[in-house]
Structure 1
Amino acid sequence: MEELISRIANAAGVDPELAQKAVGIILDFLNKEGPADQMQQVMAALPGASDLLAERAGAEAGGGGLLGAIGGMMGGGGGAMAALGELTSSGLSMGEVQSVTKELVSYAKEKAGDDVVDDVISNIPGLSQII
């Protein structure tokens, strides 16, 4: 996971802590919205990804604030727009969000394979236009 965080921090020009938070947000979104079989393969190919999601789940369980409550009332995480909102609220610009996402996808393809990652992306409506 450190290699991925370092690559993303360098590519997007953000500090490693913010890069790690962004990776957690994106992986959480993909894990919830993507096809389970392919996401299991992606998560297994990214060392530390499961730990990052577990940390994130623990943090969310402790709060979530107003947006978390609204998302809960809407029946889940709110999809791509909620993930985008969370990324920008974390301090990333739209350009940085794109850089982080592209670098994460590139890294995931290196580790899990193009076909698996492309399947995840194509199975989430609208995601292929963003990436």
Structure 2
Amino acid sequence: MDQWIAHIAHSVGTDPAIARLAVGHVFGFLLKRYPNGPADELIDGVPGSRAAIAEAEAAPRKKSLLSGVLGGMGGLMGGAKGDMLALTSELSALGLSTDQLKRLAHEIFGGAELVIGKEKLRVMTDPIPGLSQFLWPNG
């Protein structure tokens, strides 16, 4: 996982420790939404993923104006949109910009596709508003 995290950090333009926390937050989000299914397969297919999730869960929460607004909106909305806003809030609190978040999504889900395949990945991403269209704009 360390090489993948280093690649993500370089691509996103952030520190490897931040990239690891970001991956932990994203994988934790997927595991929460899809327990006992493709998320488990993905996480088990990337050694060190469970440790990254645990680190992200244990990390102190930083608040920024954007993360506070997104987190509050996520709580009000609930469901898939609310969960996605809460995740975005967590990632923004790590200091990642909108452009970095886009790059992060491409890197994480591109790697995930290599581990579990596009069909299983789409089972997880298609129900999340806007994510599937962002990842695969041409279908």
User: TM-score range, shorter-chain basis?
Assistant: 0.7 to 0.9
Q: Does 1:91 align with 2:95?
A: yes
- Report the identity percentage: 30
Q: Could you give the per-residue CA deviations for residues 71-124 of structure 1, whole angstroms, max 9, x where no partner exists?
A: 9x7679940001111111210000000101100111111122222212211133
Tell me the secondary structure at the aligned position of residue 14 of structure 1.
Answer: coil
In structure 2, what is the Cα distance between the partners aligned to 1:104 and 1:35? 18
Question: What is the TM-score when the length of structure 1 is the normalising length?
Answer: 0.78
Bigger shift: residues 108-117 or 26-35: 26-35
Task: Please say if residues 33 and 124 of structure 1, whose CA atoms lie closer than 8 Å, have aligned partners that are also in contact.
Answer: no
Q: Which one is further off, 105-114 or 30-39?
A: 30-39
Q: CA RMSD in A?
A: 2.8
Unaligned residue ranges in structure 1 (runs of 5+): none
Amino acid at match of 1:40: D
Give the structure 2 partner of residue 29 of structure 1. Answer: 29
1:82: which partner in 2? 86
Higher relative contact order (CA 8 A, sep 6+): 1
Q: Does 1:40 align with 2:40?
A: yes
Between the two proteins, the alignment pairs up a number of residues equal to: 126
